[in-house]
Amino acid sequence: MSHQSKQRIMDKIIRCLALSKSSNEHEAATALRQAHALIQKHDISVKDVELADIKFKASNTRSAKRPPIYQIALANMIAKLFGCQNYMGNGTGDRSHIRVMCFVGLEIHSDIASYSYDTLFRQLKQARQAYIKTELKRVRLAKNKAARADAFCLGWVSTVRQLVRKLVPSSTDMALIERAMRSELDLRSTSGVDRVSKSKAKTATNDFHNGRIAGKDAQLNHGMNTDAHQTKRITQ
């Protein structure tokens, strides 16, 4: 059986299993029988059915081989809130040679996590650049400037956590996600470059606080609502 054929059958099974949860007992029973018939006819395993709704979603944001710690902090925070796992991997299609952040979870969760990451990381980079130009323009030592800007970014991420929390859908089964990742990936821990803890700059705490304040300006226009196809702006 080709991959495409199997995927079509899996989609039918998933739809039947979804209908089997209907409050209409007759409809639910019919859907469940159809799902079981498809499973037996095409020799589909229970594991295949369990993992079918777990999707790997690559972000659109290019990443360094070892991203800065604030980028990892943002990705980890988003993944945790949306019940996903995240890892550094390659993009898809014509972006397969580019390193990106990837999210694994139930399809709607991984889609929203990837969208949130791309949207917020773009804003974070803009906020970082603005902070360097205004507040850090007199800092001469490059490594101190980078470390202080990183501290600002970590503060920004800590505030944005409350923003993202408003988009979190219902809980998901992390055991299935972890099983999917083990079956598909050679997992390695994702660690970032930590310039903050190594820095001797005494003002990093202030930079972190300034980042928390700046994070209140973050915006997330969410067009992938799990309950309705409407766009809404989420702000603090």
* Residue range 92-115, pLDDT digits in tens: 777 778 889 988 877 677 888 898
* Residue range 36-80, pLDDT digits in tens: 788 778 877 655 655 566 678 889 888 888 899 999 999 999 988
Band of the pLDDT at 152, cuts 50, 70, 90? Answer: very high
Q: Would you say residue 134 has pLDDT above 90?
A: yes
Q: What is the mean pLDDT of residues 194-208?
A: 72
pLDDT over 70 for what percent of the chain? 69
The pLDDT score that the predictor gives to residue 189 is: 46
Check residues 192 and 72 and name the one with the higher pLDDT. Answer: 72
Q: Would you say residue 225 has pLDDT above 50?
A: no
Spell out the alpha helix ranges (H) of 102-197. Answer: 107-134, 142-165, 174-184
The pLDDT score that the predictor gives to residue 190 is: 60
Q: Would you say residue 223 has pLDDT above 50?
A: no
Q: Would you say residue 121 has pLDDT above 80?
A: yes
Instruction: Give the number of C-alpha atoms closer than 13 A to the C-alpha of residue 205, restricted to the C-beta side.
Output: 1
Distance CA 166, CA 178 (A): 25
CB 67 within 8 A of CB 125: no
Distances in Å between the Cα of 44 and the Cα atoms of 35, 41, 52, 173 are 10, 8, 11, 21
Mean pLDDT rounded to a whole number for the chain: 76
Q: Which of 66-70, 150-154, 169-173, 194-198 has the lowest mean pLDDT?
A: 169-173
Relative orientation angle of helices 107-134 and 69-81, to the nearest 10 degrees: 150
The pLDDT score that the predictor gives to residue 38 is: 80
Check residues 3 and 62 and name the one with the higher pLDDT. Answer: 62
The pLDDT score that the predictor gives to residue 87 is: 86
Distance CA 139, CA 153 (A): 17
Q: Which two tokens stand for residue 235?
A: 């702000």
Helices (H) and strands (E) in the chain, counts: 8, 5
The pLDDT score that the predictor gives to residue 224 is: 46
CB 172 within 8 A of CB 106: yes
Q: Would you say residue 124 has pLDDT above 90?
A: yes
Identity of residue 34:
Q
Distance CA 42, CA 44 (A): 6
CB 82 within 8 A of CB 113: yes
Per DSSP, 68 falls in state B
Give 87's strand partners. 102
CA 94 to chain centre: 21
Q: What is the mean pLDDT of residues 23-47?
A: 74
Q: Which two tokens stand for residue 26?
A: 């007759």
Distances in Å between the Cα of 24 and the Cα atoms of 14, 27, 29, 41, 111 are 18, 5, 9, 26, 30
* Residue range 157-191, pLDDT digits in tens: 999 987 777 766 555 555 555 655 555 544 444 66
- Backbone φ and ψ of 97, nearest 5°: -90, 0
Distances in Å between the Cα of 230 and the Cα atoms of 118, 216, 226 are 20, 23, 10
